[in-house]
Amino acid sequence: MAHADPAAANSDAGALQRIADALPEWAAAQGFNGLGITRIALDADAAHLRKWLDRAHHGSMDWMARHAALRSDPAALHPGTIRVVSVRMPYLPESIQQAEAALGDSSRAYISRYALGRDYHKLMRKRLKKLGAQIEQAIAEALPSLRADQRPFVDSGPVLEKALARDARLGWIGKHTLLLQRDQGSFFFLGELLTNLPLPETQAAPVRDLCGSCSACIDICPTGAIIGPQQLDARRCISYLTIEHDGPIPLELRADIGNRIFGCDDCQLVCPWNRHATPSREADFAPRHGLDTATLLELWAWDEATWLRNTEGMALRRAGWQGWRRNLAVALGNAPPLPEAVQALEAAKPDASDLVTEHIEWAITRLTQAC
Ligand code: SF4
Ligand code: SF4
């Protein structure tokens, strides 16, 4: 791209600017509701990550520590990367009120709203690839001497996605550690296209942090996992405990998990900026198998074959069958003390693993003591 001829350099810069200007519209056609371009300057975020890891707040997510250096260096992840195109896709499949109704009924199962439909990874990666192909075609037409080399990521590699999205002017990082934006709230997925193209950065001013004196997310967290503004102890977070964590759920946290069987949205549901969140129009994110309204006993009745069939192509698979049963047992222990719940738990014991049996016994003890 280095030009001895200033006129040629200007025309290259003009072509790159025209492509950057067209990107938000191309992204919208792929279902993204925000796009920004950033350089890579993640030193402060890398230091924050190192401190978090040093305090062991990542729990058993060893891969976080293993790939820590890569996270803050996209060029090491994909050589030649000098810019990141960051995109946002809303996923809330239904209204906030519907989510709150499910959470507020302890006989019903609460599944994090992002996981009720099709797994977002494949869908977003495919859309990001299409966006990348469109950029490559535009480059080939406008600047044939330039060879685009790009790679999409959707939660699939060691990328500091929230920091990159913040730098791409897509929002600010809230006290709950998630990215949010005043008109869109925080119920969206993030994706990144790592690129070697010298695309001009998004010029808008940094998005102003509007958390102010609010601490609603910290106050409501059922397990006290948000230990300070932008500080999460994942070992206490229900999302970690019900999805990433393989072993027994710590006894002292089981009651606080309530009816949350896969993930947790409390810190997002309470956030005032999510009052404006509108449901996604993406058909793939619509709830499957009535999972948004199912009772705990209905889901407990699924055998492994049913679970495998019903969760095909869904993020729910990440918990694994044993994790799913463990989580359901805990939630049943926190449910209204109905005799049929105790019977259903007892009936499952002969076929249960040691891990699940221990959680079943905890649940039965809790239910019978409450009777
Ligand atoms: S997801 Fe739930 S448990 Fe985790 S920090 Fe948010 S409110 Fe707390
Ligand atoms: S609940 Fe309040 S403090 Fe937490 S992210 Fe939202 S605005 Fe910020």
Dihedral, 65, 236, 242, 192 alpha carbons, nearest 10 = -50
State mean pLDDT over 117-136. 96
pTM of full prediction above 0.75: yes
**Any ligand 1 atom below 6 A from CB of 239:** yes
Q: How far apart are the first and last CA of the chain?
A: 75
The pLDDT of 107-126, averaged and rounded, is 96
Alpha-carbon gap, residue 176 to 156, rounded angstroms: 22
Residue 9 has pLDDT above 80, yes or no: no
Distance from the alpha carbon of residue 186 to the mean position of ligand 2, in angstroms: 10
Tell me the two tokens of residue 191.
């994706």
pLDDT in tens, 38-58: 999 888 988 888 898 888 888
Segment 29-39 shows an average pLDDT of 96
Q: Kindly state if the Cβ of 267 falls inside 6 Å of ligand 1.
A: yes
pLDDT bucket at 7, cuts 50 / 70 / 90: low
- What residues are in contact with ligand 2 under a 6 Å CB criterion? 174-176, 180, 211, 214-217, 270-273
Q: What pLDDT shows up at residue 156?
A: 73
Mean pLDDT of 196-214: 95
Residue with CA closest to ligand 2 atom 6: 271
Residue count of the chain, please give it. Answer: 371
Report the share of the chain in percent with pLDDT over 90: 82
CA 173 / ligand 2 centre spacing (Å): 9
Angle (deg, nearest 10), helices 354-370 and 339-348: 160
239 alpha carbon – ligand 2 mean position (Å) = 18
Query: Around 180, how many Cα atoms within 13 Å sit in the side-chain half-sphere?
Result: 25
In sign, the C-alpha dihedral spanning 194, 232, 44, 90 is positive
- pLDDT(158) > 90: no
Q: How much is the average pLDDT of 11-15?
A: 87
Q: Categorise residue 100: left if φ over 0, alpha if ψ from -120 to 50, beta otherwise.
A: alpha
CB of 237 closer than 6 angstroms to any ligand 1 atom: yes
- Which has more pLDDT, 279 or 287? 287
Distance CA 345, CA 359 (A): 10
Give residue 70's pLDDT.
80
The strand order across the sheet containing 34-38 reads 34-38, 83-90, 188-195, 150-153
* Candidate list 12, 73, 155, 209, residue with the active-site label: 155
Q: Give the C-alpha separation, 181 to 271, whole Å.
A: 11
Nearest CA to ligand 2 atom 7: 211
pLDDT tens sequence across 324-342: 999 999 999 999 999 999 9
Three-state secondary structure of the chain: CCCCCHHHHHHHHHHHHHHHHHHHHHHHHCCCCEEEEECCCCHHHHHHHHHHHHCCCCCCCHHHHHCHHHHCCHHHHCCCCCEEEEEEEECCCCCHHHHHHHHHCCCECEECHHHCCECHHHHHHHHHHHHHHHHHHHHHHHCCCCCCCEEEECCCCCCCHHHHHHHCCCCEECCCCCEEECCCECCEEEEEEEECCCCCCCCCCCCCCCCCCCCHHHHHCCCCCEEECCEECHHHCHHHHHHHCCCCCCHHHHHHHCCEEECCCHHHHCCHHHHHCCCCCCHHHCCCCCCCCCEHHHHHCCCHHHHHHHCCCEHHHHHHHHHHHHHHHHHHHCCCCCHHHHHHHHHHHHHCCHHHHHHHHHHHHHHHHHC
Asked if 90 and 187 touch (Cβ cutoff 8 Å), the reply is yes
Kindly give the distance from the C-alpha atom of residue 12 to the centroid of ligand 1, in angstroms, as a whole number.
47
Is 284 catalytic? The answer is: no
The residue behind tokens 């080399």 is 149
Listed in sequence order, the residues at least 6 apart from 213 whose beta carbon sits closer than 8 Å to its beta carbon are none
pLDDT for 36 equals: 98
**What backbone phi and psi angles, to 5 degrees, belong to 123?**
-60, -50
pLDDT for 150 equals 96
Residue 288 tokens, joined: 């499957």
| Residue reference for tokens 């791209």 | 1
Does residue 271 carry a pLDDT above 90?
yes
Which band of pLDDT confidence, cut at 50, 70 and 90, is reported for residue 6?
low
Q: 117 near 96, Cβ under 8 Å? A: no
What is the model's pLDDT at position 220?
Answer: 98
What confidence category does residue 307 fall into, taking pLDDT thresholds of 50, 70 and 90? very high
Strand partners, 173: 179
Residues 209/169, Cβ–Cβ less than 8 Å: no
What share of the chain has pLDDT > 70, as a percent? Answer: 97
